Each structure stands twice: as structure tokens, then as C-alpha cells.
Amino acid sequence: MTDLPHYQLYIDGAFCEGARAQRQQTENPATGEAWASFACAAPADVERAVTAARRALDDPKWRDLSQTARGKLLYRLADLVERHAQELGRLETTDSGKLLAETASQTAYVADYYRYYAGLADKIEGAVLPIDKPDMHVFTKPLPIGVVAAVVPWNAQMFLTATKLGPALAAGCTVVLKASEVAPVPMLEFARLIHEAGFPPGVVSVITGDAKGCAIPLTSHPDVDRIAFTGGPDTARHVIRNSAENFAVTTLELGGKSPILVFEDADLDGAANALIAGNFGASGQSCVAGSRGLVQRSIFEALVAKITEKAQGIVVGDPLDGGSHMGPLCTRAQVELIGRTLSEAQAQGATLRFGGAPLDRPGNYMAPTLVDCPSPEIATLHTEMFGPVMSLLPFDTEEEAIALANDSLYGLGSGVFTQNLARAHRVSGRLRAGICWVNTYRAISPIAPFGGFGDSGYGREAGMEAIKDYTRTRTTWISTSAEPMANPFVMR
């Protein structure tokens, strides 16, 4: 372990070792070998980080900083992220297995999220209220909600951090960021950019560790005012229970089983590319993976043939290699879950059109897989596997397609492919999903709210809407009357 790169916690403006001596290794999914070690935070470290965040919230260096000055700090952070995008992307690729082509470009684009919230920082405004009492001047002022616990997973972590950190800092909050114990290195390197940007000590801390030592003490801490969590529904239920101890407000982004509906008038080439992007892009390790393809029966075989032809050209290989289209899965557990789910699906009558097995090489590589599902009960249509598994199910009518699409506990993303504008509006308006892409898929923007319904969580990240989640409103009443209060027993 001593030969591996050695990463520390970032608490109260300084890098430090954890309160316990325990360290953990992180593995390169492309090789299965350990490549770095990081400190495992203990409850005492969480206490230090939250205490620092609470102190920083009330420190004039942050509390009295103008909204414009907060925006300038975010602009500085954006420039640093953009400047180090290739380096951060390489670390994320090594730690999680995602393609460098995607991690580097996504990190560069993430800089625009910080710029977006930098620009919004001095647009957070209150209002003077025209109330029905002429001798009262009443106004509102949005205030920072307080200390934020931001919990991010290993996939798309630079993006998912920006959607939390950007609005939180623009609103004047302080943040304790808990990185995934599976692939934490990019977040610990990102902490250096936070430091370099000049945020006061305690405004942002970055900690790593497991649930017992880190996540549970953080999400149940009495000084945490808001929790922004991205992960799975089962963990989220624990987070909600923890937050109930101190009434912390929560935002939850929990993934899903997003449907892509392809109607018979759709452009088949575009639909095939969208299904490939939604299932094999990022090796299927995306919360908005379009893993339920619903295809009108009249074009089902034609679309399967087109997808099969395109899939033959997919190169599964080293994620650092520019010629690769798919890298490994982040963990061996994902490979095993896919294997079990595919076996269950086949026992239910599903057919593998291609793929279905791990690749015979070091690392967590999985072949792109297409499952032909004869009925809606097939396991691959309901289990979030976080891997390159596309499941296709035929439908006959528009009503049937909508019913099948909504037959899920999840409700994050969705897609509709049709050349009929009326149908596009009609169908997208009835899908129970927080996001709907029409004739495209997997597009994001700092301006567009991101979030879902049902077991995909609640609250919105990105867009102006997210700012509201990190503020709370104070209403101030000022009497302009020259007369004193008359009757103290009657409400005015």
C-alpha cells in the first residue's frame, strides 16, 4: 500500500489523515488491481467537518461575502475545473472505468455548471410584498439553508457534484461532500481545486469512507440542514430515516429503468443510436440508462437488426484508449448481478439476441447485451443492473406503449421516437418521468432541471429550480405607523 498514491481527507481548508488509522485501496476496474489508497473517515472526522461547516456559515469571511463575490469564487472554480479537465478525467477513468473520452469532456462541460450558478449568485432576490395593511412594510429575503451534506456516487461524479455544489455555494451554504468509497480519488483531487479557488476554510470539506464511519454519522448529524443524495432507493430510505432525527430537508436522485418508446414512424437509425447511447454509453452505468426499449411490433425486427449491426462495431477495451467505445464496469458485483438477472430472464422465456457474458480478460468487462423480452414480467425490464444490457419489448398501440412505460416504480428519464409532433406531445405528456427526451437521448444542460418521480427520488438538480432547494425565506414585517400597538389580544 505504501507504493500507491496516498490520498487524505480535506477538512476545514486542509488535507489531513483520518481519526482512525484505517485506509482503503481503490481498484482500477480495467485491471482489477489496486492503484491508490485513501483515508477512511471516522465519526470524529465527520464531526470535525460538520463543525467546520457550521462555523464557516457564521464566519464573516463567508457570511458577509457579497453575492457577487460568491459568484466570482465559483467562476474561479469553473476555470480551474476546465483547466484540469483532462487530469480529472484520467483519474475518474482509472478509478471507475468510464471512457476517458467521456470523463474528460464531461468534466470540461461541468465547468459550465459552476459558471451558470456563478451568474445566478447575485440574482437570488427577495421581494417587497403588496400586503393589505397600509401601515406595514413587508419584504422577503432568501437565506442560505445552512450546512449541506452532499453524497455522490462513483458514476458521473464530477457532474453530480456540480449539480449540488454549484447551487449550494451560490446560495451561501457550506457543504460537506461525501465521496463514494468505490472510486473517491477524483473528488479528493477536486478538493485541491476548491482550495486553490480560495473558498474560506470549512465552506467545503471532502470526506471518504464507508457507511458506518462516514455516511450514517453525516446524514444523521443534528447540524446538517439539507441532504443532497444520489444513489440507490434502499440506501435513500436509510438516509430519509437518518434525516428525520434533525428534520433535514432532502433531495434524492435515485436512478431508474428509463423507457425509450419507438413508434413505427420513427427514424430507425436515430432510434437505434439512441438505444445504443442509452444502454451501452458509459457501459450502461448511468442513472438515466434507457434500459427498457418499447418498440412498435411492426418495426421490431427491423430495429433489432439495425441495433445488432451497429453493436458488432462496438469496441470494448481499455477506457484510456481513444479507440474504445465501452470500458469495464466499475465493480465485480455489477458483473455478477447482470449474470444472475440474465439467467432469471432466460428462465422466464427471454432470448439473448447478442452478448450476455463477461469478457475473458482481466478487469470487469461485460459484452454489450440485447435481451428480447416476450412479456413485461421479464426480470431485465425491472432490475436496475447498471451495465450494458438493453431489453426490448414489443407493443401494438400508443395506449399500450404508455401503460408499459409507466409500469415501473422508477420515473427518472424517458425517450420518445416519432415523426408525429402531436404524438410526441401527447405521449411525453403522459409519461411518469421527470425528464423526457424526444428524438434524442442522454442530453444535459446546467439550465435544465434534472430529477425524477417515484423511486427515482424527488427534488431537482440543475437549473434555477435547484437554487430554491438551498435557500429558505425570511419574511420581515416593519410597522410604519406612528401609533403604538393597540390591542395585544387581537391579531392584526
Residues belonging to the active site: 253
Q: Give the rounded distance of the alpha carbon of 25 from its chain centre.
A: 24
- Please give the grid coordinates belonging to residue 319: 477506457
**E strand or H helix that includes residue 260:** strand 259-262
- Positive or negative torsion for Cα 392, 398, 401, 406: positive
Task: Tell me the backbone φ, ψ of residue 282, rounded to 5 degrees.
Answer: 55, 25
Cα 191 from Cα 185, distance rounded (Å): 10
User: Amino acid identity, residue 276?
Assistant: I
- CB-side exposure of 47: number of CA atoms within 13 Å? 4
Cα 172 from Cα 203, distance rounded (Å): 9
Cα 333 from Cα 366, distance rounded (Å): 12
CA dihedral 195, 196, 199, 201 (to 10 degrees): 40
Question: Taking the CA atoms of the chain, what radius of gyration do you get in angstroms?
Answer: 24
Please give the DSSP secondary-structure letter assigned to residue 84.
Answer: T
Q: Residue by residue, what is the 3-state secondary structure of 107-170?
A: HHHHHHHHHHHHHHHHHCCCEEECCCCCCEEEEEEEEECCEEEEECCCCCHHHHHHHHHHHHHH
3-state SS assignment for residue 44 = helix
Cα 149 from Cα 144, distance rounded (Å): 14
Q: Which residues contact 313 (CB under 8 A, 6 or more apart)?
A: 325
**E strand or H helix that includes residue 303:** helix 300-311
In this structure, how many other beta carbons lie within 10 angstroms of the beta carbon of residue 321?
A: 13
Q: Which residue carries 467546520 as its cell?
A: 52
